[in-house]
Amino acid sequence: MPATEGRKVPEKKQKRAAGTDASADADVYDLKGLTCPLPVLRARKRLAGMKSGERLWLETTDPLAVIDIPAFCRESGHCLVQSFAAEGSHRFLIERG
């Protein structure tokens, strides 16, 4: 029996990232269409409301995000677990520090 059967899953938790088991529990934060510095500013605000160790996928179309997001993680004490280019965008898996 699946763990979620018989109980309501919060709506924000329903959109999940495809990938490894470790990334399956991470919410997806769509930052597509935003340009520097907005992806980092929005990511900072979203991560501030999370517990240490929780993970979040960021999706962005900003070409500077490949520089800004890793730098933000280093400076803020978060762990950049994974990053890759997707069709027309970039995805980053961040674990809150």
Residue 96 per-residue DSSP state? -
Q: Which residue out of 28, 34, 36, 80 is catalytically annotated?
A: 36
pLDDT of residue 79: 98
User: Could you count the other beta carbons within 10 Å of the beta carbon of residue 22?
Assistant: 12
Our answer to whether residue 36 is catalytic in this structure is yes
Q: How much is the pLDDT for 23?
A: 63
Q: Write the class of the CATH domain 16-95.
A: alpha beta
Please tell me the pTM assigned to this model: 0.75
Alpha carbon distances (Å) from 33 to 42, 45, 47, 84, 87: 13, 18, 20, 17, 14
Q: Are 53 and 96 in contact, with CB atoms under 8 Å apart?
A: yes
State the pLDDT at residue 8. 37
Tens digits of residue pLDDT in 12-67:
333 444 444 556 789 999 999 999 999 999 999 999 999 999 999 999 999 999 99
Whether the pLDDT of residue 92 is over 90: the answer is yes
